[in-house]
Amino acid sequence: MLKITRGVYVLCFVCFMSDNHMQSQGVEYVVVRTDASPQEVVDNESPWWEARRIKWGPASYETEFRALWSDQGLYVRFESTDPNPWFTMTEDDDPIWNEEVVEIFIDLDRSGTNYAEIEINPANVVTDLSIMWEGDDREGDLSWNLEGLESHVRLNRYRDGSTAGWTAVAFLPWPGFASLPSATAMTLPPAAGTHWRFNVFRIKRPWGESDPLRDVVFAAWSPVTGESFHEPTVFRELVFEGTSEVPSQVPD
């Protein structure tokens, strides 16, 4: 897996944006198309101004998600409210789900039987898996990599120097999805109007290393009904829009 790290824990002051592009918490997320290059999207704020925003989780550990797409790939961004990000794992494909992460599951063919799982921790460690279901049995293939994936993490601070949280941005090139079994009959890049399915998540362990199992926050945008995030039946629509114009809001 190719992963480019640019200034992990680069400091930035937190600013508050208007809610003009906040998408209603409905059954789908509409991905705005961008003409910006992968470098511009990963390194700059301006391409993200047009992206829809969704938020979930408790206020003290709220998570915001945005996405964009282009002919080159899918871009995802997580803003995590967190006064004390915690991690110990530093190698790609470590089991970072046992610590603190943001996650996205992406189901290309909408079958629920095979989907990509991408996780990022506050140290910019990336763990990517291909998830396969056979009946009620689930297996995760850690040998699968989304080739060409690039990611960037930064620490956000308030003006008084206190920690506000962390931001993770990732570029997922279309060819990287091609090795998924579910991509066999798919067109990449997807055409405008294509619907995939997905869900996004956050794991926060407020007590960190001292007691990582205490008061754990498992937050899913589309709520799960059991003890695992792996519920394809609750995935929501990921819709690839054809223009950068903001359409009418999706009803709740």
Tens-digit pLDDT string for the chain (252 aa):
444 333 343 443 333 333 444 444 458 999 999 999 998 998 889 999 999 999 999 999 999 999 999 999 999 999 999 999 999 999 999 999 999 999 999 999 999 999 999 999 999 999 999 999 999 999 999 999 999 999 999 999 999 999 999 999 999 999 999 999 999 989 999 999 999 999 999 999 999 999 999 999 999 999 999 889 999 999 999 999 985 444 434 433
Q: What is the pTM of this model?
A: 0.87
> What's the burial of 101, exposed, middle or buried (CB within 10 Å: 0-12/13-18/19+)?
buried
> What's the burial of 6, exposed, middle or buried (CB within 10 Å: 0-12/13-18/19+)?
middle
**Residue type at position 173:** P
Phi, psi of 168 (to 5 degrees): -120, 130
Phi, psi of 60 (to 5 degrees): -70, -20
| Domain annotation for the chain: domains and CATH numbers | 11-240 (2.60.40.1190)
Instruction: Specify the 3-state DSSP secondary structure of 237.
Output: strand
Answer yes or no: are the C-beta atoms of 99 and 121 closer than 8 Å.
yes
